Structure 1
């Protein structure tokens, strides 16, 4: 996902942009912020809302490609991953 931009024209809400981004990528909140231009604080709020709705899941705790710090990688089920293998 290095140097990849995922900005959409007329994308609607930031929350839907985060969800649509995760439908195609597995990423940390910082990686989503860099790719979409949405502030990380907003992404954290949308992450919580989407997790509670059962639309996105935490996949793995690993080092973020951008910050180098431990962070949860997120995805949606439409990213092609089986729910059995995801942390709920």
Structure 2
């Protein structure tokens, strides 16, 4: 997997998945950015961080809020494309859940 850096220092997994935090999304909170990012994909915290430029610590805070609202779900545990370690793949799109258990229940 190729990780790209743009002119603003944001990293992404290629142009089609690029999402920048600052200039392009000044009106969105980090929670909304994370929610939107995960609507059409699954990703780990590290993958979200690299793609959005949001620090992992901030992702954890937003993740907890979304979990409490039943808006964030764990789809599977698999090897992360960034860290190379087994991690939880998350989504905010119920169509990816299938018979999986949400993070709130697990």
> TM-score range with shorter-chain normalisation?
0.7 to 0.9
Q: TM-score, normalised by structure 2?
A: 0.72
Larger Rg: 2
TM-score by length of 1: 0.85
Aligned pairs (5 A) from 1:1-12 = 3-4=13-14, 5-7=18-20, 9-10=24-25, 11-12=27-28
Segments of 5+ residues of structure 1 without an aligned counterpart are none
Task: Give the C-alpha shift of residue 84 in structure 1.
Answer: 4.4
Runs of 4+ in structure 1 over 4 Å off: none
Structure 2 residue matching 1:59: 3-state secondary structure: strand
The structure with the greater share of residues assigned to helix is 1
The RMSD of aligned alpha carbons is 1.8
Structure ranking higher on relative contact order (CA contacts 8 Å, 6+ apart)? 1
